[in-house]
Amino acid sequence: MKVDRVIMAQQGAPDVMQFETVELPPPGEGEVQIHQSAIGLNYMDVYQRSGHYPMELPSVLGLEAAGEISAVGAGVANLSVGDRVVYGGVLGAYTSRRNASAARMLRIPNGISDDIAAASMMKGMTVEYLLERTYKVKPGDKVLFFAASGGVGQIAGQWGKHLGAEMIGVTSGPENCRRALDLGYAHAIDRKSEDIAARVKEITGGIGVPVVYDSIGKATFETSIACLATYGMFVSFGATTGEAPAVAPSLLQKAGSLYFTRPTLANYVGPRADLEHSAGRVFDMILGGQVAVNISQRRPLSEVAAAHADLEAGVTTGSTIFLP
């Protein structure tokens, strides 16, 4: 069977992504074939395309998608043709149909559409491990979260509120601030017009927050340090403006016996039990109505370059999915 997919021969600007038509073989041992109906766009795709992360080339891009199993390879006992599945973190998602390891597949529960699953799996599991395992958010914690109106940020606001935290979101512009307040954040700081650290000090009575979730990296590193309370934890989980600088132990000492971590989803959902735990929490939060997933951008896969450019320019909100 012939499939179209998005491939890049070199890393760089969005136009390095090209379409190619290839013959898709039957799934190999331990694999399933997925007829994909929705593909998730993640900031990680931008890092992989732009060269921020090294890649073996040529490479098919994309890490997350949902769809129906259309064929099952040898040795796969627990999945059947017709099952609805979603996966996150398996390179090669920008296509209509693909083969992938059955060990990374998650069954989509009834009540969750393929679109929502593809829009929320990686972003939701990221929020799960950040808020529940990296720093365990407790009721009453004041929590600072950057990019509050983005894909991960919208889920984090709602999730954190459900855990009983007072969520403080940083975003850009009055409209995004209003959106953040509608989505669980108790406070919204406009990074374009406000002094973030001063607002955080005001909200926390001069103490600072016990945890900062900073996905912006280079541009916000010093601000995040300034927002932390004594013993606070700096969770640097992204590099939208470039990697955070190297952290000197003496800086952590001087800024108040701080902790610093640079976590990544792949570690937190590596073992199958952790993957099932994390995905199970995401499904429960969606089915229970604690987290609403907003697909603000739905685009044909043919618009992949424009969608990357929009995500990088910071003009999207919520999640983006591609319809193959």
Ligand X SMILES: NC(=O)c1ccc[n+]([C@@H]2O[C@H](COP(=O)([O-])OP(=O)(O)OC[C@H]3O[C@@H](n4cnc5c(N)ncnc54)[C@H](OP(=O)(O)O)[C@@H]3O)[C@@H](O)[C@H]2O)c1
Interface residues with ligand X (CB under 6 A)?
Answer: 42-44, 122-123, 126, 146-147, 149-153, 171-172, 176, 191, 215-216, 219-220, 237-238, 240-241, 263-265, 311, 314, 316
Query: Which residue, 8 or 155, has its beta carbon nearer to ligand X?
Result: 155
Phi and psi (nearest 5°) for 46? -65, -45
Phi-psi region of 257 (alpha: psi -120 to 50; beta: other; left: phi over 0): left
119/135 Cα distance (integer angstroms): 24
Question: How many Cβ atoms are within 10 Å of 255's Cβ, its own excluded?
Answer: 17
Query: Which residue, 165 or 265, has its beta carbon nearer to ligand X?
Result: 265
Q: Which residue's C-beta sits nearest to ligand X?
A: 150
Query: Which residue, 99 or 185, has its beta carbon nearer to ligand X?
Result: 185
Minimal distance in Å, beta carbon 240 to ligand X? 4
Query: Which residue, 31 or 45, has its beta carbon nearer to ligand X?
Result: 45
Minimal distance in Å, beta carbon 279 to ligand X? 14
**DSSP H/E element including 308:** helix 304-313
Minimal distance in Å, beta carbon 314 to ligand X? 4
Minimal distance in Å, beta carbon 319 to ligand X? 7
Minimal distance in Å, beta carbon 120 to ligand X? 11
196/111 Cα distance (integer angstroms): 39
Q: For residue 75, give every residue at least 6 positions away whose Cβ sits within 8 Å of its Cβ, in sequence order, or none.
A: 29, 30
Query: Which residue, 99 or 154, has its beta carbon nearer to ligand X?
Result: 154
Query: Which residue, 63 or 102, has its beta carbon nearer to ligand X?
Result: 63
Phi and psi (nearest 5°) for 31? -110, 160
Q: For residue 185, give every residue at least 6 positions away whose Cβ sits within 8 Å of its Cβ, in sequence order, or none.
A: 145, 148, 157, 161, 167, 168, 169
What are the angstrom distances between the C-alpha of 172 and each of 217, 300, 316?
16, 27, 11
Minimal distance in Å, beta carbon 317 to ligand X? 7
